[in-house]
Amino acid sequence: MTPIPRLSRPLFRRLAACALVAVTCAAVPCLSRAETNVLMAKTREAFSKGDFVALDKENERLKHGKHIRPDAASELDDFRIGLDQVIHADVDNKEAFLRELEALTLQWATEHPKSSLAHILHARVLVVHAWSYRGSGYANTVPPEAWVDFRKYLQRAAQYLQDHAEIVMTDPSAHHVLLEIGNNLDWDIETLKAIQQDGLKQNPDDIMLYFDMLTPLLPKWHGNARVLDKYIREATKQSQAEFGTGMYTRLYSMAAEQEYGHALFENSLVDWPTMKKGYEDMFTRFPNSPERRNRYAYMACLAKDRPTLVTLLAELGKKIDVSQWGPNPQRSLEACQRWARETPSESKDEAKTDKKGRASPASL
């Protein structure tokens, strides 16, 4: 275990106290993942204890090669989330915590100059520090001075990775961080695509890079429905050896999560037969995912495919995972279940009332 330096002892006391804090990371797609994931917990504990050697060893194992779980989730993503759960720990003095974490990760990078993880962790902390100024609200809620600090820290993180490019760019986690930086600094789409493809060249099985690239192509960022659909079809083709048409399904599911919500089939170019085939491909290749089956049922409801919804609800029985049913999930689930129980004639009657402004469960 790496010796704990004197300057870091207060930090590690805080980290240890936060070791079991569950943190929800922004921009994490709806992938099947157990909340008590062992790898996440081990990673969080090692980081909290300052065991950089253990972290570095795990990263070296994961950064190349196929590490896909039986439910099609990525072990590498689990590892990254474990790291983020520490960096995002809920502490009283966030600024002091992040400054100490910056000092610690920079010290690790100095002591282990050939470690890609050490440098990437330092850049990752700078990015999280940037977001502490930006906050998670709408852009009009951010003070002008905070925008300055937000961009300053992002630029510092980008420059740090560039300064250590020879080491870090062999590790797709650097590309993962760079895509977040670039999107928030308004780098052009072609630059972001080049970063993503270089990361996939380093590790073709780093599936998070497909999700990372989706974000800047959403209409609320720099894209539109046409550009998004083109990208999703390209990504599906690129990943078809592993997932068949499954990446189409997963990326459009994420698009619903990040932007379209219940209006996915109204406002995007998603094709339900293709999405449905993607789910069936995923269940053939990765059957161990009740969370994804819940998501499939929710999407069937959005697509107004009552027979599929009825079948899936029957298969799920009591294995309902409310979290997979979109915005306001409990009410979404209730509405879809109610619609599934209705007869076709009742639905026609309800369609008439929609013109009066009432919401239809089928339009969720």
Average pLDDT per consecutive 10 residues, the chain (364 residues; last block may be shorter): 36 45 35 62 95 97 90 92 94 94 96 98 98 90 94 97 97 97 96 97 94 96 96 97 95 96 96 97 90 95 97 94 94 96 62 34 24
As a residue count, the chain comes to: 364
What pLDDT, on the 0 to 100 scale, is given for residue 345? 57
**What was the pLDDT predicted at 195?**
97
CA–CA separation, 258 and 117 (whole Å): 28
Q: What are residue 68's DSSP bridge partners? A: 74
Say if residues 36 and 78 touch (Cβ distance below 8 Å): no
CA separation for the pair 364, 263 (Å, rounded) = 7
Q: Are 195 and 179 in contact (CB under 8 A)?
A: yes
91: left (phi over 0), alpha (psi -120 to 50) or beta: beta
CB 324 within 8 A of CB 30: yes
- Whole-angstrom Cα distance, residue 98 to residue 129? 6
Q: Residue 293 in 3-state DSSP?
A: helix
Question: Which candidate, 224, 221, 219, 278, places its Cα nearest to that of 251?
Answer: 278
pTM: 0.84
Other CB atoms within a 10 A radius of the CB of residue 116 amount to: 23
Closest Cα partner for 100 from 217, 18, 39? 18
The rounded distance, in Å, linking the Cα atoms of 77 and 15 is 21
Cα angle: 207, vertex 241, 308; to 5 degrees = 85
What's the chain's Rg over C-alpha atoms? 22
In angstroms, the CA 347 to CA 343 distance is: 7
Distance between CA atoms of 303 and 256, rounded to whole angstroms? 12
Q: In the prediction, which pLDDT does 286 show?
A: 92
| Per-residue pLDDT, 165 | 97
Ranges of H-type helices in the chain = 9-17, 38-49, 52-62, 75-87, 94-111, 116-134, 144-163, 165-168, 172-184, 189-202, 208-214, 225-238, 240-243, 246-255, 264-267, 272-285, 290-302, 306-316, 329-341, 344-354
Residue of 169, 15, 215 lying closest to 105 (CA atoms): 15
